[in-house]
Structure 1
Amino acid sequence: MSDDIGHQKRALRAELRERRQLLSETARDAAAAGIRVQLDALLEHTGARAVSCYLSATTEPGTREFVEHAVGRGIRVLLPVTRSDGLLDWTVASADGDIAEGLFGLPEPVGELLGPIAVNDVDLLIIPAAAVDTHGMRLGWGRGYFDKTIGSMEGCPPVYAVIYDSELIDEVPREIHDQPVSGVVTPTRTVPLAPRRR
């Protein structure tokens, strides 16, 4: 990573993290309700029967309502579990699944681990992001788990990043290993994006 790009990424992440922390509980609840509506509509549009998602942390746009609702509708939802080697294991979400603190203090499911290749069986990936630009480039939180996952998949299905409305921006700093997404889901809209070719 060039020092300049690394600095740009750290500065942008810090700004976005601070903005998220300033949101009121009411705003977060409204965002979670909007995310559920948008993700439900995305499932209908894509016809996905198996998806990967994640358990949102307090300051992230809420995905938990969506996960619970999808499981209740018979959708197979895989949730990530971080590993120290930089890869993700996966477990199947259940209606009464337990949650524990993961490797980085974030909420993760407790359940039978399926290994990194389990995600190859999903029809749609729903992933976290700090921001996404209008070319489909995603800025993550700096650990590279989802970039590695997407980059390793053959025939990768559509990938949608969940962000707040203000986090779809003109451009994010990018490096060669950064993976684009197919679109974004915000509390008010779902935006398909045309990723910039490398």
Structure 2
Amino acid sequence: MTEISPERHALRARMREERARLGAGARIQAAQGLMTQLRQLPELTIDQHIAGYFAVNGELSLHLVVADAWRRGRQFYLPIAGARRQLRFAPYRNDTAIVPNRFGIPEPAAETAQLVDPAAIQLVLVPLLAFDRRGNRLGYGGGFYDTSFAFLHGQDRPTEPLLVGVGYAFQEVDALDEAPWDVKLDFIATESELISCEAPQ
């Protein structure tokens, strides 16, 4: 599972640059808009096990989503990058210690016994660099999400876990090439829209 397309590399670089140019005010406003869009998903209220990511390098922040989950008594999880491009998820609470992993990405300092498998999560908020409305996602090239949720291949979607890509509206592109190992998103949430990837485009 490798991505060597020069076009994908160029698109990643462009999206990183655009994201880095966002000021603090724009990021705060985007996080508020994202929360408004995500509230359209019944799963955000109903599901007990919700996973997201620790925003870095200008990613759209989930801090309002996390606070909402804690307020509702839901369990929120962050990903732990393991061997063989596999993710497991660790509980994240307001007193959880956070440490950088081997990629420099913040992760909970969790014991192995605390980790849960991807199939145990009900709603997953997935970071991205670019997306299209068919549910295709351009990630960071590591393949962790595609590997970890490969068990969804062949299943009727949407199902659990529900995969919701999170990104800024400017990260939308007309179309992304699909690879056999890609796991499509069910929804995409931006600061201005909730996109159903199952709806006719």
TM-score by length of 2: 0.85
Q: Relative to 1, partners in 2 of residues 1:167 and 1:54: Cα closer, same or farther, differing over 3 Å? A: same
CA distance in 2 between counterparts of 1:2 and 1:108 reads: 24
Relative to structure 1, is the Cα distance of residues 73 and 46 closer, same or farther in structure 2, using a 3 angstrom cutoff?
Answer: closer
- Partners of 2:40 and 2:2 in 1: CA distance: 40
Q: Which residue of 177, 181, 192 corresponds with 1:177? A: 181
The CA distance in 2 between the partners of 1:148 and 1:115, in whole Å, is: 21
CA distance in 2, matches of 1:24, 1:141: 22
Aligned counterparts of 2:85 and 2:132: Cα–Cα separation in 1: 25
Deviation at 1:43, TM superposition (A): 4.5
- Report matched runs for 1:121-160 at 5 Å: 121-153=120-152, 156-160=160-164
2:166 corresponding residue in structure 1: 162
Unaligned runs of 5+ in 1: none
Q: For residues 89-108 of structure 1, what are the structure 2 equivalents within 5 Å?
A: 89-108=88-107
| Partner AA of 1:146 in structure 2 | Y
Q: CA, structure 1 residues 29+45, in 2 after alignment: closer, same or farther (shift >3 Å)? A: closer
Check conservation: 1:137, 1:195, Cα contact below 8 A: no
- Spell out, residue by residue over 1:151-183, the C-alpha distance to the aligned partner (whole angstroms, 9 max, x if none): 135764221000101112211133211111001
Letter in 1 for 2:94: A
Aligned residue identity for 2:111: E
Provide the identity percentage.
28
Residue 6 of structure 1 is matched in structure 2 by 5
2:118/2:149 contact within 8 Å kept: no
Could you tell me which amino acid in structure 1 is paired with residue 189 of structure 2?
V
Q: How does 1:24-43 map to 2 (within 5 A)?
A: 24-43=23-42
Distance 1:21 1:112 in 2: 34
Asked if 1 retains the 8 angstrom alpha-carbon contact of 2:128 and 2:166, the reply is: yes
Structure 2 unpaired stretches of 5+: none
**Alpha-carbon deviations, 1:28-56, whole Å to 9, x = none?**
11112222333344255672221121111
Q: Return structure 1 stretches of 4+ with deviation > 4 angstroms.
A: 43-46, 114-117, 153-156
2:121–2:160 CA contact under 8 A, matched in 1: no
Distance (Å, rounded) in 1 between the aligned partners of 2:45 and 2:176 = 27
TM-fit CA distance, 1:90: 1.4
Task: Quickly say closer, same or farther: Cα 1:54–1:61, change in 2 above 3 A.
Answer: same
Return the TM-score normalized by structure 1: 0.86
Match of 1:187, SS state, is coil
